Structure 1
Amino acid sequence: MALHWYVRAVLYTTMKQIDTKLKEILADPKKRRSWVMYQLHMQGKSLAQVGKDNGVNTRQSLYETFRKPYPRVEKVIADAVDLTPQQLFPERYDADGLPNRPMGRRKKSIPKRIKKSKNNCNVKKAEAA
């Protein structure tokens, strides 16, 4: 019975060390990409094949996801290596698992000269001709 407890303790410690090592790897973007490619290679897949199977038409968007956020493709890649996007790209999500980037389109900037002018029309006099 004591041996069984000891084996469980060793396995728990080993898994904890692996988990710590994996977090270190995923924290570094260069190591993360290599790790993902290695995991896919071990499964006999390529990144392009994973994208094609999941309806991502361009390979470029798959590779660009490692540089800039792309939520849909982040999920596809994370699913391929059995992780969540929050685990695979930890710097892109907050503690609650929500994206830490602004959502939606950027707001159009208004030039200062238009903001200052009170009368925003091209006509100097508002009289009809």
Structure 2
Amino acid sequence: MNRFLLPRFDDGDMYSCSRYTAEEWDSFRNPNLFIGLFYICSGIIYDVLYLPVLAVMTQPKFRHRSCYRIMLYLGVIDFTCVIINSIISGYFSIVGSVYCTRPMLTYIAGCISTGK
């Protein structure tokens, strides 16, 4: 997020996409449908199995205890991170995306998934 918050932040060659043209970056793509679908399906399965656990923690008999409120908050964060880490990563695998083909989406998804 330093790129957005600190406009003079110089990341040097770490994230430089100027080495190749857009067509050359597209040539580095390596789409993999099987791995992408595996990521997406496993993420959906994990999220569907996570929903009943979150529903139990929202019941009134558990909500008055602070430990369940903390666990509910952490569960919502886990739920969101599974969506980002599995479903967006699966999409990137299916289309064969590299960082320089979609730099903003990759950067923002990485910041959200690691920052939560």
Instruction: Mark the structure with the bigger radius of gyration.
Output: 1
Shared fold, TM over 0.5: no
Task: Specify which structure has the higher proportion of helix.
Answer: 2
Q: TM-score, normalised by structure 1?
A: 0.26
Q: TM-score, normalised by structure 2?
A: 0.28
User: Which has the higher relative contact order, 1 or 2, with Cα contacts under 8 A spaced 6 or more apart?
Assistant: 2
